[in-house]
A = this chain, B = another copy of it.
Amino acid sequence: MSIPMPGEQVRGSQTGKPIMALLDLLGRTWALGVVWQLHQGSATFRELQQRCEQISPSLLNTRLKELKALHLVDSTSKGYQLTETGEQLFAIISPLGDWSRQWANQITKGNV
């Protein structure tokens, strides 16, 4: 799958709008999850695989390539870590943690 570069056409959108590239990227399996897990701290390839509950190495590697190409993740001697930009992205989505718990509560307790 090609890397969803802002300005170019991406999966599901011809417009080239940055938000569409971002939504394409984040709409791929484990993309959000990798960002989420990496915020817990940098990790080696195999550590990251374990944090992501045994995601297959081929997929992890594909996602990491994309995230690196888009400057959200960096690989250093300490392993993979979020870039500053990646941390910004995490900062935006981090409220999803708390929110998802309320949401789960609402659904499973059935407040209809």
Contacts and interface: CB of A to CB of B under 8 A. Distances in A.
Q: Which of A11, A97, A103 has the most CB of B within 10 A?
A: A103
Interface in A1-49: 5-7, 11-15, 17-23, 26-33, 36
Could you say how many copies of this chain the assembly holds? 2
B100 A22 contact: yes
Interface size class of A (residues with CB under 8 A): 35 or more
Interface of A: 5-7, 11-15, 17-23, 26-33, 36, 52-53, 55, 70-71, 85, 88-89, 92-93, 95-97, 99-101, 103-104, 106-108
B92 A99 contact: yes
A7 B108 contact: yes
